[in-house]
Amino acid sequence: MRRASIFIILFFSLASATSAEKYFDFTPLARSAYEKAISLRFGEAYALMAQLRLQEPDNLIVYHIENYIDFFTVYITEEEQQYKRLKKKAAERLAYIEQGNASSPYYLYVQADIRLQWALAKLRFEDYLGAFTDVSKAHKLLKANEEAYPNFMPNKKDLGILHAMVGTIPDSYKWGVKILGGLSGTIEQGKKEIESVLTYAEENDFIFEQETWVLYAFLLLHLNNEKEAAWQAVNRGKLEPANNPLHCFVMANIAMRTGKNDTAIRILETRSQGSGTIDFPYLDYMLGLAKLRRLDADAGIQFQSYLNRYQGRNFVKEAYQKLAWQALLNGDIEAYHAHMRDCRDKGYAIAGGDKSAQQEAKDAKAPQLDLLRARLLFDGGYYPKGYELLKSVAQHRPFFGKDELEYYYRLGRLCHGMKKYDRAIEHYHSTISKGAESKYYFACNAALQTGLIYEEIGDKEAARKAFEKCLRLKPEEYRLGLHQQAKAGLARLK
């Protein structure tokens, strides 16, 4: 009888365990695993997830954390075989999640967030149909979740960025917009939604607070053209760039795009390395670029480090181009041509910067040295220094052809950076009139920048005409990014 009783107790215990409801909960252990994952400390995250599976076997939030790791692995390494292998796991992960408690606000949200992460990964590997399909499915899940749980903040975080971005999709991807079906929105709508999440986070413990600040900063920078606000936002996000490579990337990236090049160098140079995080070679590329823009003589070390360790597809041609530029600045024309041969023969011409580098390699013509210096100084935010350089050079050396076009363009950019708007517009108009039919991006970006100036000073009609002009120009390089920015500008003017 005693043995029978023990058997019955064990049977019902096992039956109860087997039929236990699967749930979603960021318990302290799950939160720790998530924090390690977004710190790129994957070994520690996996150890915590193993513990989570033992102690909380029915907590399906582990699959969400697991997907973060796969997404960051694919996005940082850009290794195609790894992408194909990990992509297969996403479908299995979603199947497990569908077994969870359907009445939880996390049930639909986790599925949507995983799909959005994989949409970004697929875009990285040019699977545009797959990316748009995932975004469409994610949006439908988020909308259904919003109807059931209108105050669920993680949902608003994802919907906010979707609503902000949908109106800026370039015309060349209109077929993808059709796939998105009912997805519509404006930059202002998305901005307000994300701001509501940040307001909530100020008074509540919100696990995705840092994530939301990063999304908000990038929205301000790339979609709303609010550079200083973006920098202030990312500084409010309590990021730790010295200890977290992902935070280092975010802060240095925004610093480099907002004229704070020296700050970016300091952030990148003071990061911890070899401390149990996944290797992130692109940070070396960023440091090399920031140092090159300051005209430092040793930037090439960082580009070479990037090339030695990176096994993916993007920025390889650009890295060889930047090595060539460094050699040119250092007076070594033979090394310039050697690096440009590598630029021509290695890497992929997919991203705009790589396409431009490839074109320079095919042209087999070194850039004019003073124009190159001016370009780099502008990109680093050293506007007065770049302007004085160009003005002094022009007195002694006339420019012709492409160089003349670039000369007016660079003057416009430098005046723009110094907020000398009338002179900037004058130089931009010269660029457009001389280069509208050119394959180079100068005229297209001059039209875009003219629109941004008019928007800044409140002349909406002139801004609209300039943005529309940008969209009519079809340069061979950087077209997609420039047109997206012009569409974002038009969306802001509505």
Closest Cα partner for 224 from 466, 476, 474, 456?
456
Specify the pLDDT at position 167: 75
Specify the pLDDT at position 39: 95
The first and second tokens of residue 326, run together, are: 């460094």
Specify the pLDDT at position 219: 95
- Alpha-carbon gap, residue 415 to 405, rounded angstroms: 16
Residue 421 has a CB neighbour count (10 Å cut-off) of 15
For residue 379, give the 3-state DSSP assignment.
Answer: helix
Closest Cα partner for 70 from 53, 52, 51, 83?
83
**Do 264 and 286 contact (CB within 8 A), yes or no?**
yes
Phi first, then psi, for residue 225 (nearest 5°) are: 55, 40
- Alpha-carbon gap, residue 139 to 146, rounded angstroms: 10
- Alpha-carbon gap, residue 139 to 176, rounded angstroms: 14
For residue 237, give the 3-state DSSP assignment.
Answer: coil
- Alpha-carbon gap, residue 251 to 264, rounded angstroms: 7
Q: How far apart are the first and last CA of the chain?
A: 80
Specify the pLDDT at position 444: 97
**Do 413 and 420 contact (CB within 8 A), yes or no?**
no
Q: What share of the chain is helix, strand, coil (3-state, %, to 5)?
A: 75, 0, 25
Phi-psi region of 384 (alpha: psi -120 to 50; beta: other; left: phi over 0): alpha
What's the number of CA atoms in the CB half-sphere (13 Å) around residue 468?
A: 7
Task: Count Cβ neighbours within 10 Å for each residue of 315-351 and write b for 16 or more, e otherwise.
Answer: bbbbbbbbbbbbbbbeeeeebbeebbebbbeebebeb
Phi first, then psi, for residue 270 (nearest 5°) are: -100, 5
Type of residue at 50: A
Q: pTM for this one?
A: 0.90
Residue whose token pair is 């297969």: 88
The stretches of 167-226 forming alpha helices (DSSP H) are 174-179, 187-203, 209-218
Residue 443 has a CB neighbour count (10 Å cut-off) of 25
Q: How far is CA 26 from CA 21, 145, 201, 468, in A?
A: 16, 18, 16, 47
Which residues, 6 or more positions from 329, have their beta carbon under 8 angstroms from its beta carbon?
292, 295, 297, 369, 372, 373
Q: How far is CA 155 from CA 108, 194, 195, 202, in A?
A: 9, 10, 13, 17
- Alpha-carbon gap, residue 238 to 247, rounded angstroms: 9
Specify the pLDDT at position 98: 95
User: What is the block-wise mean pLDDT of the chain (494 residues), using blocks of 10 residues?
Assistant: 43 44 96 97 97 97 98 94 93 95 97 96 91 93 97 96 85 71 86 97 96 96 94 96 96 97 98 86 97 96 96 93 96 96 93 90 91 96 96 81 94 97 97 94 97 96 97 92 94 89
Specify the pLDDT at position 177: 64
- Alpha-carbon gap, residue 234 to 211, rounded angstroms: 10
- Alpha-carbon gap, residue 73 to 257, rounded angstroms: 25
Longest dimension (CA), the chain: 107
**Do 241 and 256 contact (CB within 8 A), yes or no?**
no
**Do 358 and 343 contact (CB within 8 A), yes or no?**
yes
Residue whose token pair is 């993808």: 176
Dihedral over alpha carbons 241, 244, 249, 251 (to 10 degrees) = -30
- Alpha-carbon gap, residue 439 to 191, rounded angstroms: 35
For residue 380, give the 3-state DSSP assignment.
Answer: coil
Counted residue by residue, the chain has a size of 494
